[in-house]
RNA sequence: GCGCGGUUAGCUCAGUGGUAGAGCAUUACCUUCACACGGUAGGGGUCGCAGGUUCGAAACCUGCACCGCGCACCA
């Protein structure tokens, strides 16, 4: 800090120190260190992502925790990385491909397309990482991970094999949430319910009797064997309510509640389905079934059942063995089974057309505007389509352990109300659909081949034979059979099973129709894989949900499945900082994965990982969600999200960090306002200038404080510093970041700058004024030894306070504090690993112990005494108003002390009053009308010789008197109440009595001031 | 429907039973030699409503209203 600019300029400071920290390896965690470990894994941002305010909030908190831990002497690992964001990344590259080459991914083919994704990743994947660096994040970049790194991929696939082997992963045909835009299945968590304004359509259908009909349960509707002649249309019509008339062609029944007196008798009869209109009557007939699911209060009490396109209807269909008719394609268009006019139309267009057809038929009764909740694909923002398809599912592992660790408080959530949400989700947990019909992601490590049932036992005799694996590989499999899991028609078999014949026949003898069996091999063993591929086995084409890789993040990033030094040192991690919006997506799943793969929870893995408690982190801090000033969520479409990098360029990273922290209370959403960042900048500037003031006093860092020379003001600020250290430390321990910043702000601005710095000027003789141009330089005035000593001691106090303050601030505003730490010379006295090189490992300030306080005479009475002095000053300044005197104008005060006043205190009061002089006069007789304030220290007069507006001042003081009187009445009433005086704790009683005395004193003082005005 | 937050100064928010607070905004004055990204002094609140507990409630309890969120959903 050789050149001290008048205002802090972050641009010239931030990059310099970040480079320095990197070069010095300050962020690199050493697993061999003897220091206690502290670790955090970053919530990996999407590799396609750009830094937004949510990242700023989240990562600033992680950085504060990491930096604080380093100063606490911990060995810190903050492990960074990105995730591959399956859908988002694939869509982004597809868009680029379309734009630049007018091609789809199918034009390129899977392999070539994936090459393009990697090219994109190499080119743009580190954008967000570099942005995090701009923010000052002290991540160990040497350990940066990406969820598609080869080692990471192996972890994901290994985990898949393990879970497959345990029977927790299975493939099944289920109703899933289908996104017609991305054309993939989604998990339940990726579906967001949104209220939609639509219509509730009421239409009528005619009831038919069909006495001779056979409702063939398992046949497709087109195979129905009704005789047209057996069908008797009745006069009864039923009204059905639906929001989705386009699915009518997929209806295979109408359901009523069997207890509903209106309809119970109709169960067993049929209705004529109005769509597709062109079908012959016999094919339009669908049964009326009785099902308890139907709520007869709702709609008309008659429910159309579309088992292929609705989850609840699917269940009804299963109960009544209804056929399924799929009428909607994977892309959301209608297929030919939907009927001529609808076929080929988009589902929403088809809805309109269906309504038109029904209207033409004269069966449409009404369309009421209706708001209902529709599931939307979170990613593509279109309504999802429930769809029957074959997908991979996971039965969640280690659920009881995961529930217990949070419920019994071993893992703490901050704020803890999220524990309830977490528990509720785990209690109602459904199997996780983990397969995605995408190309970008971890391919499912399952190979499949279909065999003719009759060749089993004749051509193939054993499982390994079936796998057509050479003798050499067979041996390998024999050794590492845990690597290879084989299923035949979904049932796991052992690889060394010799009795394939029995196995195969047993599997198939129940159904003569089945002529083929499916054999699955789940493995990540490359030798086995190459053998399989040679034999035309095909790998499952699906990839895994991105969260199926990020749930392994806390240990897969640390070298698992090897038992690495890093894992030993840093797992389980200490804190996790994330948003509550991914509590199910990520947090809950990581906990389950931790128990499953790192702990004793029935893991098939080597016991080297069997940690007594394998939960992946001890504390989870849930941030709020950043909103704009109007409380709206920040979003790209609204354009209400400021670009953090623009803010950093404009105000500095420290300003952004401090401002964000100050306005982010624990667990509450944050309404972001650029004003907050401005506040941060102003704060940094204040810090800068306070240090600048110290620099202007000249001289080296003063390490030694001479206790005999301490003034009451010195003791006051040291005690305030002690309090600030306590407050900030406690706040950080409780994850109350806004409280910590508020405490720092108050201490530094309102106590140190506003009072101490000003008071200290009494001990710091002004440096000689600059000579005006053309004049001879003014010679420095020699100071007396006493004054020199006092000056040096004051500077020592300033250096002490600043060197502590800067450290307290470091986790919040790392750049400016590093600049000041070095620039002010506070680093020079310290050992290299204790702050000598960088403030990053300077020790975190500790509250003063009793010895320290005793040595320096830091008694709490100095706080009270000095507060009284400052209160007198505040009142004295207020006197200027009576004379309408400008703040800058120097005026003469007279002080009539009530007790001994040291010359130093008199000087301090004079300075703080910005007085031309302060005459201390025991015998002062003020002229009538002289404004005065009284305090326990004495009376302070501002002789104005008739300048004051007596009337206005009287009014003000009279109001003041009234206010004080009312306060006195309040306290008196309390004290007069025997209920109060007998029941209240003595301390509170004493406090009230004391307060009454104080108010009475104030009353006397104010009345004296009033009388003085005549 | 179930659950969870919130409601305090114009705005954003602290405040876990004992004198209602901060920042911003605002008013007046001030470029005084660390800082106008600053200083000094001020104005501004029956703490959402109604009950209850208590000597005492912004805080604890009950109910209600409104705002927001999550989960589950009825076609």
pLDDT of residue A505: 52
Same domain, A469 and A554: no
The CATH number of whichever domain residue A577 belongs to comes to 3.40.50.620
CA distances from A855 to A26, A42, A87, A702 (A): 36, 45, 65, 18
Residue A212 CA, nucleotide B75 C1', distance (Å):
30
Chain B positions within 7 A of any protein Cβ atom are 3-6, 11-15, 18-19, 22-24, 29-42, 54-56, 67-75
Same domain, A898 and A988: yes
Residue A845 CA, nucleotide B35 C1', distance (Å):
26
pLDDT of residue A628: 72
pLDDT of residue A217: 43
Between CA A722 and CA A729 the distance in angstroms is 11
Phi and psi of A683, rounded to 5°?
-65, -45
In a domain, A175, yes or no: no
The CATH number of whichever domain residue A737 belongs to comes to 1.10.730.10
The dihedral through the CA atoms of A357, A360, A366, A369 has a sign that is positive
Boundary residue ending a domain (A539, A574, A594): A539
User: What's the token pair of residue A776?
Assistant: 């001879």
**In chain A, how many domains are there?**
5
Same domain, A459 and A531: yes
Residue A578 CA, nucleotide B44 C1', distance (Å):
39
User: What's the token pair of residue A251?
Assistant: 């209806």
Same domain, A188 and A230: yes
Same domain, A853 and A934: no
In a domain, A421, yes or no: no
pLDDT of residue A417: 87
Q: What is the CA radius of gyration of chain A?
A: 39
In a domain, A47, yes or no: yes
In a domain, A413, yes or no: no
pLDDT of residue A12: 84
3-state secondary structure of A932: strand
Residue at minimal CA–C1' distance from B2?
Answer: A424
Residue A429 CA, nucleotide B70 C1', distance (Å):
15
Nearest nt to the A243 alpha carbon by C1' = B75
Residue A692 CA, nucleotide B44 C1', distance (Å):
36
Nearest nt to the A241 alpha carbon by C1' = B75
pLDDT of residue A29: 94
Positions of chain A with pLDDT under 70? 1-3, 211-226, 453-459, 461-462, 464, 467-482, 495-515, 600-613, 629-631, 635-638, 766-782, 886-888, 945-948
Between CA A703 and CA A691 the distance in angstroms is 16
Residue A989 CA, nucleotide B17 C1', distance (Å):
14
Residue A967 CA, nucleotide B56 C1', distance (Å):
15
Residue at minimal CA–C1' distance from B55?
Answer: A980
Residue at minimal CA–C1' distance from B22?
Answer: A742
Contact present, A551 and A592 (Cβ < 8 Å): yes
Boundary residue ending a domain (A539, A556, A587): A539
Lookup result for tokens 């029977």: A167
- The CA-CA-CA angle for residues A854, A860, A862, to 5°, reads 100
Same domain, A607 and A472: no
Same domain, A43 and A152: yes
Domain containing A951: what range?
886-1012
pLDDT of residue A606: 54
Element (H, E) at A109: none
Contact present, A912 and A888 (Cβ < 8 Å): no
3-state secondary structure of A444: coil
Same domain, A81 and A105: yes
CA distances from A449 to A466, A514, A841, A857 (A): 10, 15, 59, 85
pLDDT of residue A503: 59
In a domain, A880, yes or no: no
In a domain, A432, yes or no: no
pLDDT of residue A776: 47
DSSP E strands in A470-572: the ranges are: 484-488, 491-493, 516-523, 538-539, 543-544
Residue A437 CA, nucleotide B2 C1', distance (Å):
35
Boundary residue ending a domain (A367, A387, A407): A387
Same domain, A573 and A529: no
Nearest nt to the A994 alpha carbon by C1' = B19
Between CA A162 and CA A604 the distance in angstroms is 8
Nearest nt to the A978 alpha carbon by C1' = B55
Same domain, A133 and A230: no
Contact present, A398 and A613 (Cβ < 8 Å): no
For residue range A587-605, what is the model confidence (pLDDT) as tens digits?
Answer: 999 999 999 998 754 444 5
In a domain, A347, yes or no: yes
In a domain, A639, yes or no: no
Residue at minimal CA–C1' distance from B38?
Answer: A686
pLDDT of residue A701: 73
The CATH number of whichever domain residue A309 belongs to comes to 3.90.740.10
Residue A154 CA, nucleotide B65 C1', distance (Å):
56
pLDDT of residue A140: 97
pLDDT of residue A219: 42
Same domain, A368 and A511: no
Same domain, A535 and A551: no
Nearest nt to the A977 alpha carbon by C1' = B55
């Amino acid at each position: 800090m050789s050149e001290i600019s008048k205002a802090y300029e972050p641009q010239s400071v931030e990059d310099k120190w970040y480079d320095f920290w990197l070069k010095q390896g300050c962020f690199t965690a050493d697993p061999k260190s003897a220091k206690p470990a502290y670790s955090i894994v970053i919530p990996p941002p999407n590799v396609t992502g750009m830094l937004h305010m949510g990242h700023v909030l989240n990562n600033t908190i992680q950085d504060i925790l990491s930096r604080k831990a380093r100063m606490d002497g911990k060995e810190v690992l903050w492990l960074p990385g990105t995730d591959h964001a399956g859908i988002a990344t694939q869509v982004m590259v597809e868009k680029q491909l379309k734009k630049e080459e007018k091609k789809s991914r199918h034009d390129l083919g899977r392999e070539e397309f994936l090459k393009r994704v990697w090219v994109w990743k190499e080119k743009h994947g580190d954008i967000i990482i570099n942005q995090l660096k701009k923010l000052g994040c002290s991540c160990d970049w040497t350990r940066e991970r990406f969820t598609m790194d080869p080692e990471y991929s192996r972890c994901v696939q290994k985990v898949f094999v393990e879970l497959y082997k345990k029977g927790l992963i299975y493939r099944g045909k289920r109703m899933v949430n289908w996104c017609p835009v991305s054309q993939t299945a989604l998990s339940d968590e990726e579906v967001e319910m949104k209220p939609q304004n639509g219509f509730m359509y009421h239409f009528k259908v005619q009831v038919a009797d069909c006495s001779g009909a056979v409702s063939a349960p398992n046949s497709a509707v087109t195979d129905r064997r009704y005789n047209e002649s057996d069908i008797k249309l009745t006069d009864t019509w039923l009204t059905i309510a639906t929001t989705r008339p386009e699915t009518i062609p997929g209806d295979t029944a109408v359901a009523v509640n069997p207890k509903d007196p209106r309809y119970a008798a109709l169960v067993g009869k049929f209705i004529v389905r109005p769509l597709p209109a062109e079908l012959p009557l016999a094919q339009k007939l669908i049964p009326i079934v009785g099902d308890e699911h139907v709520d007869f209060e709702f709609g008309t009490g008659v429910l159309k059942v579309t088992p292929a396109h609705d989850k609840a209807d699917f269940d009804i269909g299963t109960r009544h063995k209804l056929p399924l008719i799929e009428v909607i394609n994977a892309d959301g268009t209608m297929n030919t089974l939907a009927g001529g006019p609808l076929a080929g139309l988009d589902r929403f267009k088809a809805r309109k057309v269906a309504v038109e057809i029904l209207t033409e038929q004269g069966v449409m009764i009404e369309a009421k505007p209706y708001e209902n909740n529709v599931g939307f694909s979170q990613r593509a923002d279109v309504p999802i389509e429930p769809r029957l398809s074959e997908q991979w599912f996971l039965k969640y592992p280690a659920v009881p352990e995961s529930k217990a660790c949070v419920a019994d408080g071993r893992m703490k959530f901050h704020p803890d109300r999220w524990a309830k949400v977490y528990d509720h989700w785990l209690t109602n947990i459904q199997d996780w659909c983990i397969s995605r019909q995408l190309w970008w992601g971890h391919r499912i490590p399952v190979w499949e081949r279909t065999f003719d049932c009759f060749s089993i036992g004749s051509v193939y005799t054993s499982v390994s034979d079936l796998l057509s694996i050479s003798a050499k590989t067979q041996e390998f499999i024999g050794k590492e059979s845990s690597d290879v899991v084989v299923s035949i028609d979904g049932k796991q078999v052992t690889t060394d099973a010799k009795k394939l014949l029995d196995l195969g026949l047993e599997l198939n003898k129940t159904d003569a129709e089945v002529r083929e069996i499916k054999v699955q091999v789940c493995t990540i063993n490359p030798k086995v894989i190459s053998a399989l591929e040679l034999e035309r086995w095909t790998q499952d084409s699906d990839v895994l949900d991105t969260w199926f890789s990020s749930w392994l993040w806390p240990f897969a990033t640390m070298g698992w499945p090897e038992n690495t030094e890093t894992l030993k040192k840093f797992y389980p991690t200490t804190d996790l900082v994330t948003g509550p919006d991914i509590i199910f997506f990520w947090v809950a799943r990581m906990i389950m994965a931790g128990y499953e793969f790192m702990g004793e929870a029935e893991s098939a893995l080597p016991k080297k990982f069997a940690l007594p408690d394998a939960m992946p982190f001890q504390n989870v801090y849930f941030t709020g969600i950043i909103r704009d000033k109007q409380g709206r969520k920040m979003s790209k479409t609204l354009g209400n999200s400021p670009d953090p990098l623009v803010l950093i360029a404009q105000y500095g990273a420290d300003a952004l960090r401090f401002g964000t922290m100050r306005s982010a209370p624990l667990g509450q959403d944050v309404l972001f306002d650029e004003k907050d960042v401005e506040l941060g900048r102003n704060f940094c500037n204040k810090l800068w200038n306070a240090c600048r003031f110290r620099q202007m006093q000249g001289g080296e860092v003063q390490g030694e404080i001479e206790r005999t020379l301490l003034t009451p003001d010195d003791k006051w600020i040291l005690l305030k510093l002690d309090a600030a250290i306590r407050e900030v430390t406690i706040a950080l321990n409780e994850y109350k970041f806004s409280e910590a910043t508020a405490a720092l702000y108050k201490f530094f601005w309102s106590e140190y700058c506003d009072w101490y710095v000003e008071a200290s000027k009494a001990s710091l003789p002004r440096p000689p004024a600059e000579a005006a141009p053309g004049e001879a330089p003014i010679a420095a005035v020699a100071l007396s030894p006493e004054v020199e000593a006092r000056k040096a001691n004051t500077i020592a106090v300033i250096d002490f306070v600043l060197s502590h303050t800067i450290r307290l601030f470091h986790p919040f505003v790392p750049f400016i504090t590093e600049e000041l730490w070095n620039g002010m010379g506070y680093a020079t006295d310290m050992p290299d690993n204790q702050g000598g090189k960088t403030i990053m490992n300077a020790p975190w300030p500790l509250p003063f112990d009793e010895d320290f306080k005793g040595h320096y005479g830091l008694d709490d009475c100095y706080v009270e005494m000095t507060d009284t002095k400052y209160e007198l000053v505040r009142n004295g300044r207020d006197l200027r108003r009576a004379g309408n005197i400008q703040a800058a104008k120097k005026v003469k005060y007279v002080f009539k002390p009530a007790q001994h006043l040291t010359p130093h205190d008199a000087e301090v009061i004079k300075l703080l009053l910005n007085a031309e002089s302060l005459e201390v006069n025991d015998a002062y007789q003020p002229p009538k009308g002289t404004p005065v304030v009284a305090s326990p220290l004495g009376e302070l007069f501002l002789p104005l010789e008739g300048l004051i507006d007596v009337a206005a001042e009287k009014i003000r003081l009279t109001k003041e008197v009234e206010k004080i009187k009312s306060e006195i009445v309040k306290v008196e009433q309390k004290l007069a109440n025997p209920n109060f005086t007998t029941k209240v704790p003595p301390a509170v009683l004493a406090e009230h009595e004391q307060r009454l005395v104080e108010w009475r004193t104030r009353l006397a003082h104010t009345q004296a001031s009033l009388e003085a005005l005549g």
